[in-house]
Structure 1
Amino acid sequence: MKLKLVLVEPEGMINFGFILRLSKNFEVDELAVVRPKFQVDHEEVLRFAAQGKDYIEKVKVYESYEEALEGTKVCTSAKVSGTDTVRDFVLPWELKEYVGEPEVLSLVFGRESVGLTREELSKCDLLLHIPASKNYPVLNLSHAVAITLYEVWKQYRLERGNLPQKPSEKDLEVFMRVAGELAERFVGDEVKRERILIGVKRLISKASKSELRSLLYLLSRCSSFLKG
């Protein structure tokens, strides 16, 4: 899937620098900028982009909003409504449920000052809203981009190999067998023993594979020592 970020008339160079960095963090394929209010490769922009400054090569500037849009278009807004069709929304973690796996996913963000107009919103396929305090629901542009890209990353691009491996059912069975042997040796009360083992099982169900194996090694060594 091609991931495209569309910024409509961005106004702040610092925000844009942060967004360059975020685009590199979350592997955005293209950063489309519609009528920016500054030079996109300005020294101030690149300073705040930090190690993401080389991402400037993937930035494309457009004069037309329509020309910048591509594929499945998801607009974003802090202003939403349950009765206004244009402002009917979905939440970031529901995105994949609604749009599936499109060839191109365009995430559209409006101006820092006024966001997107109704006409611009109407050209999108979906409106995405990040819920926040009703007393102050409007997020900074780069913060909204960060939250949205993170949700997209979780739903579409995060590989299991990047995360700690979970133990298999076989690993859990072996661990519980050894734990059961030790509990039977040291806890005479059957009811208490069963309660302890239930607690142990719930605890290890949250462990990673490497954590479980370390605990199993310790229990196995204890069991071997006791056997003599």
Structure 2
Amino acid sequence: MSIAVAVVDASTPGNVGTIARAMKNFGLSELLLVDPPELDEDGEAYGFAGQAREDVLPNAREVSFDELVERYHTVGTTAITNDDERRHVRYPFRTPRELADSLEGVEADTCVVFGRERVGLHNSELERMDEVCTIPASADYPVLNLGQAATIVLYELRTLTVEDHQHPTEIDRAPQSDVVGLHEQWASFVETAGIVEERRQQTRRMFRRLMGRAHPTTREVSTLRGILRRAENRIEHPDRYD
């Protein structure tokens, strides 16, 4: 599946540049523009685009609205509404996170469509969309800036578009022998610190549970052991640290 982004009738070139930048941030490259403003290479669109000025923005294609709905599985974005099952122009809708989950494994080429800065997508346009996505926000002020809204939606879609090398999910847990050594160091410290004997076992058990949940790395274990060892030395030989 590929995911494209379309901007309909944007009046502010800067918002187009901001959306292009968000696309670059979150691994998207196909930008489609319906009735776009003039995008001057020396203007704010390119100024706001960051590194997206090198590829996303110059490769943007101008298309018609008809082409969007005929070519792609379309997701129209809009502010949260009061629609319910009795009104189906903007309902049912998904949040950005729900949208990402629903698109997982879908093979169809998809296009996320953003509307105008002031009024968004018209009801006549939303009626032709396959899905509707809204961003939950405060009821006191639920309307977001176009660039902000696009950034939020594309961030949630990153699970489909970005290989997350920057944030590894696997924990480099210290070898169990190192963790055992930490527990022994803690037991020694508890005794040196003067914790009464009947409380030592409880304290050791609490520390074991804490470390069990934390899954410490080798470096973390080494650092903790060093701190405990130094603390013991200060307790046993306070005169050396005056």
TM-score when normalising by structure 1: 0.82
8 A contact 1:34–1:68 mirrored in 2: no
Partner Cα separation in structure 2 for residue 26 and residue 163 of structure 1: 14
Mapping of residues 144-183 of structure 1, within 5 Å: 144-153=149-158, 155-164=159-168, 166-167=170-171, 171=174, 173-183=176-186
Partner Cα separation in structure 2 for residue 122 and residue 113 of structure 1: 19
Letter in 2 for 1:159: E
CA positional deviation for 1:76: 0.5
8 A contact 1:179–1:197 mirrored in 2: no
Q: Deviations over 1:149-168 (max 9, x none)?
A: 11111x21332422145325
Partner Cα separation in structure 2 for residue 145 and residue 199 of structure 1: 40
Aligned to 2:84: 82
Aligned-partner SS, 1:127? strand
Partner Cα separation in structure 2 for residue 48 and residue 23 of structure 1: 12
Q: Deviations over 1:12-67 (max 9, x none)?
A: 1121122222222223231111112x2134532222223322222320112x2120
Letter in 1 for 2:73: T
Aligned to 2:220: 215
TM-score when normalising by structure 2: 0.78
Stretch of structure 1 that moved more, 102-111 or 179-188:
179-188
Distance 1:218 1:20, change over 3 A: closer
Partner Cα separation in structure 1 for residue 41 and residue 171 of structure 2: 49
Partner Cα separation in structure 1 for residue 24 and residue 171 of structure 2: 32
Aligned-partner SS, 2:49? helix
CA positional deviation for 1:222: 8.2
Q: Deviations over 1:89-119 (max 9, x none)?
A: 1111111332333342210111112111122
Partner Cα separation in structure 1 for residue 25 and residue 104 of structure 2: 23
Partner Cα separation in structure 2 for residue 174 and residue 164 of structure 1: 24
**Residue 193 in 1 paired to residue 197 in 2?**
no
8 A contact 1:8–1:34 mirrored in 2: yes
Identity %: 29
Aligned-partner SS, 1:74? strand
Aligned to 1:94: 98
8 A contact 1:89–1:126 mirrored in 2: yes
Letter in 2 for 1:75: G
Letter in 1 for 2:138: S
CA positional deviation for 1:68: 2.5
Aligned-partner SS, 1:58? coil
8 A contact 1:3–1:105 mirrored in 2: yes
Aligned to 2:4: 4
Partner Cα separation in structure 2 for residue 26 and residue 7 of structure 1: 17
Mapping of residues 117-156 of structure 1, within 5 Å: 117-153=122-158, 155-156=159-160
CA positional deviation for 1:144: 0.5
Letter in 1 for 2:187: E
Q: Which has the larger radius of gyration?
A: 2
Aligned-partner SS, 2:135? coil
Q: Unmatched 5+ residue regions in structure 1? A: none
